[in-house]
Amino acid sequence: MLPELGAAYGVSPGTAAMSVTAYLLPFAAIMLVSGTLGERWGLRRTVVAACWAYALASVACALAGSLPEFLAARAAQGAANAFTTPLLLAAIRATVPSDRLGGANGRYHSLQAAGQTSAALCGGLAAEVDWRLAFWGVAVVAALLAVGGIPAVPRSAVPARLRSAWRPIVLRIGLVAGLGWACLVGLHFLVALRLEEVFGLGAGPRGLVLTTLGLVGILTGRMVGGWIDRTGPQRGVLIGTGLGVLVVVGVGLAPTAVLVALLWAVGGVANQLLAVGTSTLVSSFSADNPAGSMSVVQAVRFGSGALSPVAITPIYHADPLAGFLVPAVLLAVAVPVVLPRQDQQR
């Protein structure tokens, strides 16, 4: 909806794209501490308050009369959403037996993939009528989620501390999650560029190809989670890394758009292995501040994804193939080195 947004405020679509940055910066930054604060305030109370705050911020987006007002409302959306994802994962950890945690995380990430996949479609359809309808719709959904809430989760007897979430092992898992996101899912913009420049695909076909990763992620999340329960999160992350490397290299070399689409679909499995594996891994040992540890991992994950276009685009313009090979090599080399071993989890 960026063209429609730009037209409404009399700016270019590129300037309107500032709304993405306005959302992502507070989202990633506040997530560094949101889990710990949620542990202190209570997970259920914090998630419900965050949903109400997101609903109000969405109404502010719909009513904004100028671009600065809209950007401020988008920043408020990002800040509110920082108090949902890591706290929901921590609530899953608190309510699901440890031997079924991978499966539960897999279902969660499947639904997250469904949201991410359908968001662009729903936003685009709304923009065909009036882009503000998208934000009114989001406001209604957020209010319904606030009313529904989540199951009550007992608070720890010991107040959560930031330093318990900022342990080296948590940061290492966060770096693995960030590398997986930035060097795989975060390359969707490169896939779109290759589809346009090499194969001449228009916006519609490009969108269909990019959707395959999310659709496969929706279908395979639960299966991946159950497999991780049986084999362990480290193995899942390593297999997801290897599969992701093959996908990225293959997309960069594929001679047809159909093969690109098939490979990108396989990327949905690789992404679930990485996402569910890292979520389960950090949940398996963060007994004193699980939400805080989860929020740090998710902050690094999404922050790395936001930096991916800035870092990789110049490489792609210098050499299109290198734009795919460099992240593939980084994924293949860095993840096995950074990933904590089983005997380092305590």
The full set of domains in the chain, from first to last, is 2-153+162-339 (1.20.1250.20)
Q: Read off the tokens for 316.
A: 């792609």
Burial 159-186 (b: 16+ CB within 10 A, else e): ebeeebbbbebbbbbbbbbbbbbbbbbb
In the chain, % of residues over pLDDT 90: 42
Q: Which of 324, 335, 177 has the alpha carbon at shortest distance from 263?
A: 324
pLDDT digits 0-9 by tens, 53-85: 999 999 999 999 999 999 999 999 999 999 998
pLDDT digits 0-9 by tens, 21-49: 788 889 988 988 998 898 888 889 999 99
Q: Read off the tokens for 175.
A: 């770096």
- List, as one string, the DSSP characters of 160-175: P-HHHHS-HHHHHHHH
pTM for the model: 0.81
Longest dimension (CA), the chain: 60
pLDDT band at 92 (very low <50, low <70, confident <90, very high): confident
Predicted pLDDT at 308: 82
Kindly report the number of other CB atoms within 10 A of residue 86's CB atom.
29
pLDDT digits 0-9 by tens, 187-211: 887 898 899 889 988 867 887 888 8
Predicted pLDDT at 346: 47
The separation between the first and the last C-alpha atoms of the chain, rounded to the nearest angstrom, is 47
Rounded-to-integer distance, Cα 45 and Cα 47, Å: 6
Q: How far is CA 101 from the centre of its chain?
A: 19
Helices (H) and strands (E) in the chain, counts: 16, 0
